[in-house]
Structure 1
Amino acid sequence: MLKRYPATEADPGVTRQVLSETPDLMVVSFRFDTDAEGKLHSHPHVQATYVRSGRFAFTVADEAFEVGPGDSFVIPSDATHGCRCLEPGELVDTFTPRRDDFL
Structure 2
Amino acid sequence: MLPVEILAPTAIYGLTIVGSNQDEMLQDLDTVDELRDMAKIQLASYQHKVANSYNKNVHIRTFVVGNLVLRKVHPNTMDANAGKFVDAWEGPYFVDDVMGR
Q: Shared fold (TM-score greater than 0.5)? A: no
Higher RCO, 1 vs 2 (CA within 8 Å, ≥6 residues apart): 1
Q: Which has the higher helix share?
A: 2
- Please classify the TM superposition score into its range, dividing by the shorter chain length: under 0.3
TM-score, length basis structure 2: 0.26
The structure that has the greater radius of gyration is 2
Greater strand percent: which structure? 1
